[in-house]
Amino acid sequence: MDKKTRICIIGGGPAGLSAGMYLEQKGYENYTILERSDRVGGKCWSPHYNGRRYEMGAIMGVPSYYAVKDVEDFCGITHDGPKLNRNYKNRDGKVIEPFEPKKNILKIPRLLKMKKQIKQLGEILETKYKGYDVNGHRGVSEGRYDGYAVTPGREKVEGVNENLKDLAMPFKDFCAKNGVELTQDVWIGPYTSFGYGYFDEIPAAYVLKYLDFQTCMNFVKVNLWTWKDGTQYIWEQLDAHLKNPARLNSEISHIERVNGKVYVTVNGNTEEYDKLIVTAPLYCADGNNGATNGFVDYADARDDEKEYFSKIDYERYTVQAVLTKPEDHPEISYYVFDNMVKERLGHLMVYYRRWKDQIDQVITTYALRTHKDMKEVPYEECNKMVLEDLKTMKNPASEVINKWSVYYFPHIYSEDYRNGWYEKVEAMQGKYDTYYAGEIMSFGDMDETAEYSRELVDRFF
């Protein structure tokens, strides 16, 4: 492709900014990043309070976040934030230690069995499911893998493995099929509590491509990366180092793709491009929860785009930032496993203390409001439930200073995954001078989306 190609990137989150970086590194400098909001970072949002930043979205990373490391190297920054740790409470607010045998004498047989199953899962993922952790989903429903390995070298790998078709089934069923049901006790912490849904509804591919074995073990061992100025700082720095920083407050009202050109109407003016990379939401069913519309609403969407993108659902993940009185401040972050089941939809799953050395700081709470087979918990009702849960946890809020419910973790369900949704959409890449990236094409964490942008640029530009 001609290095002078005019490229429009929609979205100034990790996927869009990374696409700009990787394009720039390949010699493409005629790109424009359009961001609808007044900030970059997407779901990496780190507001300020009392001289420090707190997290409303992404909190942490791990050493296997190789694309994030690319960004750090590009910007000359590093992960310099506070060391994190956590403890656990039950739904009644009692501190528990679910993985400590000495504290759970009656559960020792289960804990020993779980430990054995974790080892077993690690072995079958490397053998029976070779290729499971390749970034993106291309080929999985056909029993093949094709992409970049999750290794420091991120070498290109491809191959045939019929067993990969199992990744289309819900993670709960996947675990049952392989006799490793108890591993869900470990995987649920960094998965469901982080807003990515429940194991009985979400295809195993999403769970295992995000929480591949090494990544999950990093979470278990609390081998984590944080950033002093928050995860948003990563993307603010990338934006500042790009030759073409994102244009904020860019409201796109129409896109027309005709005769090999892409015409984008932004803030009332029409601009001409040659290629389009969409990292913003492709489809939003109800025009709510953080996304007023999707690509199919403002673009000249074709029939195949409308058909496939209408299959996308997303999580209603609700975040509140609260203050407490000094005597009510939690001494550490807490996970509440009892609330990470669909029967407790809308309840507090985790609350997060970022700074160990400061009491006058924000505590962030997280809750899920949706399950595909259940009625959605209304936003304000969920917020009230969470505040009541904080009282039960003996850490009541004295004030709510921020709250957010965002278009979160776009995904498809098992039937559409099994029927080749990803293969069909991947076959459309470039078809209308348009390329699709962002969360739906990989996973809804910052590293997976950035890594997919890297692969997209390598494949097509």
At 118-136, the pLDDT tens digits run 999 999 999 999 999 999 9
Report the number of distinct structural domains present in the chain: 3
Q: From the CB of residue 437, how many other CB atoms can be counted at a distance below 10 Å?
A: 28
As a whole number of angstroms, the distance between CA 370 and CA 317 comes to: 8
* Alpha carbons 350 and 217: distance in angstroms, whole number: 19
The reply to whether 93 falls in a domain is no
Same domain, 134 and 191: yes
Domain assignment of residue 39, yes or no: yes
Residue 398, Cβ neighbours under 10 Å: how many?
11
428 plus 293 within the same structural domain: yes
CB 244 within 8 A of CB 32: yes
Domain contains 90: no
* Distance (Å, whole) CA 460 – CA 188: 36
pLDDT of residue 286: 66
pLDDT of residue 230: 97
- Residue 185 in any domain: the answer is yes
Beta bridge partners of 352: 364
- Rounded to an integer, what distance in angstroms lies between the CA atom of residue 354 and that of residue 213? 26
Q: Are residues 439 and 374 in the same domain?
A: no
Task: Scan for tokens 């970034």, then name that residue.
Answer: 135
- The reply to whether 289 and 341 lie within a common domain is no
pLDDT in tens, the chain (461 residues): 899 999 999 999 999 999 999 999 999 999 999 999 999 999 999 999 999 999 999 999 999 999 999 999 999 999 999 999 999 999 999 999 888 877 778 888 999 999 999 999 999 999 999 999 999 999 999 999 999 988 888 999 999 999 999 999 999 999 999 999 999 999 999 999 999 999 999 999 999 999 999 999 999 999 999 999 999 999 999 999 999 999 999 999 999 999 999 999 999 999 999 999 999 999 987 654 444 589 999 999 999 999 999 999 999 999 999 999 999 999 999 999 999 999 999 999 999 999 988 888 999 999 999 999 999 999 999 999 999 999 999 999 999 999 998 899 999 999 999 999 999 999 999 999 999 999 999 999 999 999 999 999 999 99
The SS3 call for residue 270 is strand
According to the model, what pLDDT value does residue 138 have? 96
In a domain, 388, yes or no: yes
Tallying the residues shown for the chain, one arrives at 461
| Tens-place pLDDT, residues 100-117 | 877 778 888 999 999 999
Q: 319 and 302: one domain?
A: no
Task: Note whether 267 and 236 are same-domain residues.
Answer: yes
> Which residues, 6 or more positions from 213, have their beta carbon under 8 angstroms from its beta carbon?
121, 122, 125, 126, 133
Separation CA 386–CA 363 (nearest Å): 12
Q: What is the pLDDT of residue 289?
A: 46
Hey, what are 161's tokens?
A: 């493995």
d(CA 171, CA 2): 43
Burial 65-78 (b: 16+ CB within 10 A, else e): bbbbbbbbebbebe
Return the sign of the alpha-carbon dihedral for residues 117, 94, 194, 347.
positive
Does an H or E element contain 389, and which?
helix 379-392
Q: Helices 446-460 and 14-25, interaxial angle, to 10°?
A: 40
Q: How far is CA 142 from the centre of its chain?
A: 25
* Token representation of residue 125: 């993922």
**303 shares a domain with 322:** no
Report if residue 82 sits inside a domain.
no
- Eight-class DSSP state of 372: T
Q: Tell me: do 421 and 404 sit in the same domain.
A: no
Whole-angstrom CA distances from 119 to 82, 111, 125, 187 are 30, 13, 10, 13
SS3 185: helix
First-last CA distance in the chain: 6
Contacts of 237 by beta carbon, 8 Å cutoff, 6+ apart: 71, 75, 77
Which residue range is the domain that position 401 belongs to? 315-410
Does residue 279 belong to any structural domain of this protein?
Answer: yes
98 neighbors 104 (Cβ within 8 angstroms)? yes
**Residues 205 and 261 grouped into a single domain:** no
Question: Do residue 46 and residue 195 come from a single domain?
Answer: no
SS3 116: helix
Alpha-carbon gap, residue 455 to 438, rounded angstroms: 12
In a domain, 92, yes or no: no
Give CA–CA dist 206/358, Å, rounded: 36
380 and 367 Cβ atoms separated by less than 8 Å: no
Residue whose structure tokens are 């649920």: 188
List the structure tokens of 46.
């780190």
Prediction pTM value: 0.95
Residues 292 and 427 in one domain: yes
425 and 290 inside one domain: yes
End-of-domain residue from the set 196, 220, 244: 220
